[in-house]
A and B are shown apart, each in its own frame.
Chain A
Amino acid sequence: MLMAWMTGDEKHDLASNSTIDVLWVLYDRILRVSPATVDDPDRDRFLLSKGHGPISYYAVLAAKGFIPLEWLDRFATFDSPLGHHPDRLLIPGVEISSGSLGHGLPLGIGVALGLRAQGRAARVVVLVGDAELDEGTNAEAIAYARAANLGSLTVVVIDNRSSTHGWPGGIANRFSVEGWAAHEVDGHDHEALEAVFRDTRSDRPTAIVAVTEGKR
């Protein structure tokens, strides 16, 4: 709420609130990336696929020194690098420009394939929303990521119960059926989040369903 008040992005308040804990755990405890290594080819990559409601993302980037805190004041104004959907060419440390749903995971697969071809051990983490999984491009990506044995790829699904129709058996089951390692976790519990982010497999991608709004 504070960030929404600061930025005026009340429309996407729910989206931002649901991601803040996951983002903090990733940048504070998991990802091997810092303002000094944003161009290091061996850095871990974080791809915010669910580009809407990015104010929590910007807040974490500011707290970790990727961008000046003052940038938040001019959110979404003409001269601001920070808009309602992030632009990687305007913001240091942002790996992809996003907004249109269903692009982050397919892009993340390409990044992971490229890093593997180069022999790099960097990790690729993609954040998607539960409703975003409705996009058909994610169906393509989920099936192919397992076929490609992309162990360096982790998808964290923010489950804030936004999907109109949901998934039979739950989101984690949807990934398990496709051969992924899948976990469900409280999306606000930092210790639990850290534990599942560290519990990955080398031979298959990992899906982490971070439940942030009630239970299905």
Chain B
Amino acid sequence: MITMRETFVRVASELLVSDPRVAVVLADISTDQFARAARRYPDRVINVGIREPLLISVAGGLALAGMRPIAHTYAPFLVERPFEQVKLDLVHQGVGAVLVSVGASYDAASSGRTHQAPEDVALLDTLPDWTIHVPGHPGEVDTLLRAAVASDEPVYLRLDETSNRDAQASGTGLVVVRRGGGPTIVAVGPMLSRVLDAAKDLDVSVLYAATIRPFDGDTLRAIAATPEVILVEPTLAGTSVRSLTDALRDRPSRILCLGVGRRELRRYGQPWEHARAHGLDASGIRASIDAFLAS
């Protein structure tokens, strides 16, 4: 299967051809994949070296000059290390950029904590006006990236090596995957297939979100038939709980937040092993749902 990262490189390379405002800014990550584009557009494929604060500042400066920058590296180096640059050199300047990360929460499980960023979305969520996409399948990346580049707004596109079995319809709202009479489960990005496996014999509604900011509270309100809402995210547990409580503020609700735990795992291994350790494989999700509904 073509990965999200490969799809990103293909689409970004096509956008360099079709839109002279587009510039790709790199920090020594994915430079091989963009080598051909860099030869063709040396002024618009910019590798600043291993200088991630500069990566974001350059993106901000490019936007100030009227360009549409796409800044790309691993999530901890795109969002966490240069967070002040994101806050001041983009948001405070009143300009946008498209930030595209790889690595997600623990794609780099074997690399250890330094290369993992389950907190990235929560951190960006402290800033106003960001559109945040967490696609769950490579087939969703093309449309999301093209729409992001076509705007001038700040957009974060979080790519993951884990994928759902099938791509969902592209768009920014919640997708109703299953309609039931019981609790509602909101599956974010690559958590959908595991949620469907976990809940296959439960009378639940399953909603899918590839775009979590802005959050589609209207669809959640329309579908949620009971007070129980279960949020399953590939990021830090509870990343989107504020959006849920805001959407459901006029009705009683009980919310279970599943996601990556705050405590450091201090293990290496494979991403699926980290998912299991955080209770984010299908059996772990099911166990948490059963305990929640029985409480």
**Interface positions of A (Cβ within 8 A of B):** 41, 88-89, 95-97, 100, 103, 106-118, 136-137, 140-141, 143-144, 147-148
Contact = CB atoms under 8 A, between A and B. Distances in A.
Interface of B: 20, 23, 43-44, 46, 48-49, 51, 53-54, 57-67, 69, 84-85, 88-89, 92-94
A109 B66 contact: no
Nearest to B69: A110
Nearest to A112: B61
B94 A109 contact: no
A114 B54 contact: no
Q: Most chain-A Cβ atoms within 10 A of its Cβ — which of B44, B51, B94?
A: B51
Given A106-B85, A107-B89, A115 B57 contact: no
Contact of B57 (A97, A103, A136, A143): A103
A115 B123 CA distance: 31
B93 A117 contact: no
25 contacts: A89-B94, A95-B64, A96-B64, A96-B93, A103-B85, A106-B57, A106-B85, A107-B61, A107-B64, A109-B57, A110-B62, A111-B61, A113-B61, A113-B62, A114-B61, A114-B63, A114-B65, A115-B65, A117-B20, A117-B44, A118-B67, A137-B57, A137-B85, A144-B48, A144-B51
Contact of A113 (B51, B58, B85, B93): B58
Contacts of B44: 117
A100 B65 contact: no
Contacts, number: 97
Interface of A is mostly: helix
Contact of A106 (B23, B46, B66, B89): B89
A117 B54 contact: no
Contact of A110 (B20, B43, B60, B94): B60
B54 A109 contact: yes
Contacts of B51: 140, 143-144
Q: Most chain-A Cβ atoms within 10 A of its Cβ — which of B49, B60, B64, B67?
A: B64
Q: Most chain-A Cβ atoms within 10 A of its Cβ — which of B57, B60, B88?
A: B57
A137 B93 contact: no
A109 B65 contact: no
Contacts of A88: 93-94
Contact of B54 (A96, A100, A106): A106
